[in-house]
Structure formats: C-alpha cells, structure tokens
Amino acid sequence: MKNIRPYLMAIIILLTFTLSSCDFIGDVFEAGMWTALIIIVVVVLIIVWLFRKIRR
C-alpha cells in the first residue's frame, strides 16, 4: 500500500490542474436539470392520462 500513495497524489494534483470544479459542478447541475425536466413532463402526462380515463 505504501507504493500507491505517490501515484494517488500525482493523480489528484493532475486532476486539480486539468479539471475546473466550476465546469464539473455546472455539468452535474445541467444533467440534473434535464433529468428533472423529463421526469416532470412524464408525471404531467400520466396525470393528464389518468384524468381522461376517469372522465370517460
């Protein structure tokens, strides 16, 4: 286990310089926004379908 520690530190330092945290967080929120939008549309469509079934 002692041999892996320098490699982990090198990877962490490399990721620190290559990835911007703002870009990562922005991508996560953008993916979450689209997922939430799709879920909301599906739920609304199910509710509309149920109301139409009940009225007939």
* pLDDT above 60: residue 7: yes
Q: Is the pTM of this model over 0.75?
A: no
For 12-43, how does the pLDDT look when each residue is reduced to its tens digit (9 = 90+)? Answer: 777 777 766 677 777 778 888 889 899 999 99
Taking the domains of the chain in order of start, what are their residue ranges?
5-55
Specify the pLDDT at position 17: 72
* pLDDT above 60: residue 1: no
Cα-based distances in Å from 38 to 17, 41, 45, 48: 34, 5, 11, 15
* pLDDT above 80: residue 52: yes
Residue 9 — very low, low, confident or very high, per pLDDT cuts 50/70/90? confident
